[in-house]
Structure 1
């Protein structure tokens, strides 16, 4: 029996690498596509989407939301979510629209940005979608109360869907002050 030396093993590995490199030259190159992900929902009948990385969780409207006296009408109250107090805000009403009618399709989008932990009540969530860069499009005409939170748009289902930034909303001074 002959003993294999470390030099023999190194030579064998180099030979395998060289053969692999020669044979790999003809293999097709795979193009990887980057997707941008978003949660689609409605504000006052307008289809918008929020970047998925800005939505920490999507909840059903919680039972036991406790009203907080002396606050704006759009602050619906506080809910205990797994031991954490979560302010529930009617996003549509905050933006100057009519209050969301709470139903079986109502959802709460949970955000946590720069110390602002809140739940945003929306009337309807259509789900999550993936978008390619080629689907990026111009921002359609929007009312100013919504436009200030929009940074871009994507083509979805035959229409330009504005990208509504929940982080911009959380940084808004009016949003941060819910007291009367």
Structure 2
């Protein structure tokens, strides 16, 4: 390199860039692009489920104040005022399996809004957002839990765990969910 004091600053920077490019290594190449599926994982009873991120509008704590709904089935836990709107709170496990969810500190409400149906689904615990490579999805797997089978859309076998893909849109359209009156 020539005397840097005699060079104008721009030429000095060009020479520096040229030398850096000679010594630089290329970035590693990714051979295959993976498709990633994103969802929110939650627990209902002893079963771990995951639903697509776009199916859940909000995750919130269980409302402390809920109005009783006369004439509703027992799995309709009540109506809550959430952000200025009345939201029916549905005990998901009681609706599908007839086991009442015990309210404990990890119990949460998944807020859904599908085809004009707004509801809060009471679940035992929200685990968090999960990212699964699509190649780990088994769309043909049959759910062993009969009460979940109509809403299961395959499973992800990932990190030594099986995650059942739960279709909340199908649930919101089902007769079991829509017929909340006694």
Give the TM-score range, shorter chain. 0.7 to 0.9
Q: CA deviation at 1:133?
A: 1.2
Matched-pair contact (CA < 8 Å) for 1:79–1:85: yes
What per-residue deviation string (whole Å, max 9, x for no partner) do you get for residues 116-152 of structure 1?
Answer: 1000000111111001112112525422221000111
Distance 1:126 1:139 in 2: 22
Q: What is the root-mean-square deviation in Å for CA atoms of aligned residues?
A: 1.8
Q: Is this contact kept in 1: 2:56–2:110, CA < 8 A?
A: yes
Determine helix, strand or coil for the equivalent of 2:64: coil
2 CA distance for matches of 1:41 and 1:157? 16
Report what 1:60 is aligned to: 61
List aligned pairs for 1:20-59, cutoff 5 A: 32-59=33-60
TM-score normalised according to structure 1 size: 0.80
SS of match in other structure, 1:109: strand
Alignment of 1:99-138 (within 5 A): 99-137=100-138, 138=140
Asked if the contact 1:139/1:160 (under 8 Å) is kept, the reply is: no
Contact 2:143 2:154 in 1 (8 A): no
CA contact (8 A) 1:87 1:119 kept: yes
- Residue 93, structure 1, aligned to residue 98, structure 2: no
1:144 to 2:146 alignment: yes
Q: Which runs of 5+ in 2 are unaligned?
A: 1-25
> Partners in 1 of 2:27 and 2:122 — Cα distance?
51
Segments of structure 1 that go 5 or more residues without pairing to the other structure are 1-25
CA distance in 2 between partners of 1:40 and 1:156 (Å): 13
Q: 1:103 to 1:27 in 2, by over 3 A?
A: closer
Partner Cα distance (1:155, 1:179) in 2: 38
Q: Secondary structure at the match of 2:148?
A: helix
Q: Indicate if the aligned counterparts of 1:39 and 1:50 stay in contact, CA closer than 8 A.
A: yes
Aligned length: 155
Q: Compare 28-37 and 44-53 and name the one that shifted more.
A: 28-37
Contact 1:140–1:162, Cα closer than 8 Å, also in 2: no
Distance 1:159 1:32 in 2: 23
Task: State the TM-score, normalized to the length of structure 2.
Answer: 0.79
- Check if 1:165 corresponds to 2:142: no
The change in CA–CA distance for 1:49 and 1:29 in structure 2 (over 3 A counts) is: same
